[in-house]
């Protein structure tokens, strides 16, 4: 055969090892192998040139002034905007040219979100990329294959898995909705779970101002009051109600967090064609409008409060109107938004491992890969939904979580870029081996083999025959097994018993004062 594969097989036969060695490496990850947040040593990929960027920025300025953005709260926001010099008509705020940008001059381009374990603190902005797990699903696909409502046990499981995953740098927020807990008490158990079962940084509640306050209070117990006022220990998802509305719930949470010097991610939630124009350039214009208005608002609340340029971009099906993920247009939107964010001087959030598929099949993987690859190359600083997202975000999937976190490891390796050291140039190896031989046993290979290639614990690259013997498993079967192993071997990080008692007392006190409410 004159084929690539024939040559490949022959190399395979030449190589050493076997299934036993491979299996021994499986089930990887775990706290011992944690990787710090990514410092990108690669370029960003850009889809707009200077002319295109200026065009969109000018269009955004026009919309900000002419059409404006609605701030629907108890009129505190409108008052603040009026004082800042905006033109208020009803709930609509019209922004004089450059008002938002001048307000944003106090926002930090880079900041640190502290974790209770200082080694897990993350940089948000600049050349850093931080991967956080899925946010928001009310359902789970569990390890028995059932699709069902999520519980607090699921929530804790996903926190544990994110804690153990080497290339997940953040514990995230609502990794799934624990619907077995009353909705008004849920945030207390969620924040506590992040603190108790992980030592990575996490997110606060945004579903009501008092829940945001509780999130901050719990952080004060954990970190100390003055530390929280001076440092970012919570990063929080403030979705715009696109097009061009900030509603009372989101503004309420944003005000609490900004006032407490905690980070807001101002995220237009865009299904292009529904919440924004059907075109990339039009969508980018609206995203810029919404972020400039929302982010500037945080600086009205507290100048210097950390704020992130967020973008959640998807499209809709032309036939059904259903959201679609991992298609070309949202990638173009997100790449462009990343460029606009850099020019605005704010850290950038987008992407993750998004998909519309109901199961972790090739559709899920293709859509996730398209989103995730863009996430890295765009230079995204904070990537929510990086692991576990299934079915348009309605489902947190254990199996997909495991598959995704493996891909995050690959992204982290890619982000290290090309090593050009003398060792990596390998001239002596090429001299030693020479034409017609192979590199399998040479000194350079021996010296570099362990770190040379990203080693996935989930992919199967064995012979077909070996794969048959092992039960013809698909990757989701291997992910299922690995997930069970991880959860079984999980060990919680230490937590100061005094802090733990303080948190539990706070939660008990809070819960006592609330009736159960499930809606």
Nearer CB in complex with a second copy: 196/400: 400
Burial annotation 499-513 (CB, 10 A radius, 16+ → b, else e): beeebeebbeebeee
Rounded to a whole number of angstroms, the minimum distance from the CB of residue 132 to a second copy is 13
In terms of DSSP H, where are the helices of 99-247? 99-103, 152-164, 186-197, 209-223, 225-230
Nearer CB in complex with a second copy: 121/137: 137
Q: Which tokens hold the place of 223? A: 């970190």
Distance CA(18)–CA(400), nearest Å, equals 27
| Chain centre distance of CA 386 | 5
Nearer CB in complex with a second copy: 233/403: 403
Rounded to a whole number of angstroms, the minimum distance from the CB of residue 180 to a second copy is 15
Rounded to a whole number of angstroms, the minimum distance from the CB of residue 379 to a second copy is 12
Nearer CB in complex with a second copy: 451/491: 451
Nearer CB in complex with a second copy: 270/295: 270
Distance CA(242)–CA(269), nearest Å, equals 6
Q: Check if the beta carbon of residue 383 is closer than 8 Å to that of residue 311.
A: no
Nearer CB in complex with a second copy: 199/290: 290
Nearer CB in complex with a second copy: 455/505: 455
Rounded to a whole number of angstroms, the minimum distance from the CB of residue 106 to a second copy is 26
Distance CA(472)–CA(483), nearest Å, equals 19
Nearer CB in complex with a second copy: 435/515: 435
Instruction: Specify the 3-state DSSP secondary structure of 140.
Output: strand
Nearer CB in complex with a second copy: 50/494: 50
Rounded to a whole number of angstroms, the minimum distance from the CB of residue 117 to a second copy is 27
Nearest residue to 283 (alpha-carbon basis) of 56, 96, 54: 56
Rounded to a whole number of angstroms, the minimum distance from the CB of residue 149 to a second copy is 12
Rounded to a whole number of angstroms, the minimum distance from the CB of residue 244 to a second copy is 4
Nearer CB in complex with a second copy: 57/217: 57
Helix (H) or strand (E) holding 178: none
Nearest residue to 273 (alpha-carbon basis) of 219, 329, 235: 329
Rounded to a whole number of angstroms, the minimum distance from the CB of residue 418 to a second copy is 5
Pairing of strands 92-94, 87-89: antiparallel
313 forms beta bridges with 270
DSSP category for residue 280:
H
Rounded to a whole number of angstroms, the minimum distance from the CB of residue 40 to a second copy is 12
Rounded to a whole number of angstroms, the minimum distance from the CB of residue 355 to a second copy is 9
111 forms beta bridges with 124
> What is the Cα gyration radius of the chain?
24
Q: Check if the beta carbon of residue 339 is closer than 8 Å to that of residue 46.
A: yes
CA distances from 48 to 95, 102, 135, 284, 332 (A): 25, 24, 29, 11, 9
Residues in the chain: 519
């Amino acid at each position: 055969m004159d084929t690539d594969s024939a040559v490949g097989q022959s190399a395979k036969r030449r190589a050493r090892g076997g299934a036993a060695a491979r299996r021994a490496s499986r089930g990887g990850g775990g706290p011992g192998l944690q990787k710090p947040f990514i410092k990108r040593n690669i370029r960003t990929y850009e889809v707009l040139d200077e002319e295109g960027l200026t065009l969109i920025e000018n269009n955004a300025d026009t919309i900000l002034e002419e059409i404006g953005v609605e701030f629907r709260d108890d009129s505190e926001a409108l008052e603040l905007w009026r004082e800042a010099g905006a033109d208020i008509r009803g709930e609509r705020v019209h922004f004089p040219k450059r008002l938002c940008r001048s307000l944003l001059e106090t926002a930090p381009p880079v900041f640190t979100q502290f974790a209770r374990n200082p080694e897990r603190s993350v940089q948000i902005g600049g050349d850093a990329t931080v991967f956080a797990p899925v946010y928001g699903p009310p359902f789970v696909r569990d390890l028995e294959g059932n699709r069902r409502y999520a519980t607090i046990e699921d929530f804790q499981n996903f926190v544990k898995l994110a804690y153990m995953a080497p290339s997940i740098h953040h514990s995230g927020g609502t990794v799934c909705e624990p619907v077995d807990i009353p909705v008004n008490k849920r945030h207390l158990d969620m924040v506590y779970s992040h603190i108790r079962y992980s030592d990575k940084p996490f997110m606060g509640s945004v579903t009501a101002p008092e829940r945001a306050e509780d999130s901050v209070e719990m952080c004060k117990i954990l970190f100390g009051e003055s530390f929280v006022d001076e440092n970012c220990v919570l990063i929080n998802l403030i979705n715009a109600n696109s097009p061009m509305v900030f509603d009372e719930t989101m503004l309420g949470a944003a005000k609490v967090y900004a006032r407490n010097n905690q980070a807001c991610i101002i995220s237009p939630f865009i299904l292009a064609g529904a919440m924004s124009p059907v075109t990339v350039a039009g969508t980018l214009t609206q995203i810029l409008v919404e972020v400039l208005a929302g982010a500037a608002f945080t600086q009205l609340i507290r100048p210097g409060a950390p704020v992130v340029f967020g973008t959640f971009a998807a499209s809709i099906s032309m036939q059904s109107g259903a959201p679609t993920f991992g298609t070309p247009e949202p990638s173009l939107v997100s790449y462009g938004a990343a460029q606009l964010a850099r020019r605005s001087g704010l850290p950038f959030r987008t992407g993750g491992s998004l998909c519309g598929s109901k199961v972790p099949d090739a559709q899920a993987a293709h859509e996730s890969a398209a989103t995730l690859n863009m996430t890295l190359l765009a230079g995204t600083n904070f990537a929510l939904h990086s692991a576990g997202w299934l079915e348009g975000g309605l489902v947190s999937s254990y199996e997909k979580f495991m598959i995704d976190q493996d891909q995050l490891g690959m992204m982290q390796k890619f982000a290290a870029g090309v090593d050009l050291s003398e060792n990596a140039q390998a001239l002596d190896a090429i001299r030693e081996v020479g034409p017609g031989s192979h590199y399998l046993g040479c000194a350079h290979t021996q010296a570099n083999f362990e770190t040379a290639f990203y080693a996935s614990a989930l992919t199967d690259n064995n012979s077909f025959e070996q794969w048959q013997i092992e039960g013809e498993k698909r990757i989701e079967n291997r992910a299922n097994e690995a997930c069970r192993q991880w959860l079984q071997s999980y060990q919680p990080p230490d937590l100061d018993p005094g802090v733990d008692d303080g948190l539990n007392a706070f939660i008990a006190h809070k819960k006592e004062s609330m009736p159960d409410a499930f809606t």
